[in-house]
Amino acid sequence: MSIFLAALNLITPGPDHLPNPDTSTTLQKALTLLFVIIGAISLMMLVIAGFRYTVSAGDPNQMATARRIIIYTTIGLIVSAMAATIVNTVLGQS
């Protein structure tokens, strides 16, 4: 596990080249990575939902489905951004 975290630069090696985990920095980097992945997935879902809405050809069911995807993705993105802000504030890095 430490090899994986070291490869992602989530832990820094100490003077003896052994992993020296700094808990708050490690946690913040891991959560930042998670929030970036969530943001990328949200952007992808918004593009897919917009495409589905565009090609729905006026079908009310497909338009409603695409609209729900857009709404839920936007809400999820807002919640994720708020969570990132809270985590950074709690860890003392605003």
Each residue's pLDDT tens digit, 43-94: 999 999 999 999 998 899 999 999 999 999 999 899 888 988 888 788 775 4
The helix (H) or strand (E) run that includes residue 19 is: strand 19-20
What is the pLDDT, as a whole number, of residue 14? 56
Higher per-residue pLDDT: 15 or 54: 54
Among residues 92, 76, 75, the alpha carbon closest in space to that of 35 is found at 76
Rounded to an integer, what distance in angstroms lies between the CA atom of residue 41 and that of residue 93? 25
Contact 56, 62 (CB under 8 A): yes
Q: Is the pLDDT of residue 18 over 70?
A: no
Helix-then-strand count for the chain, H and E: 3, 2
Provide the pLDDT for residue 52.
Answer: 95
Q: What is the pTM of this model?
A: 0.65
Q: Which of 91, 83, 3 is nearest to 36 (CA)?
A: 83
pLDDT value for 86? 86
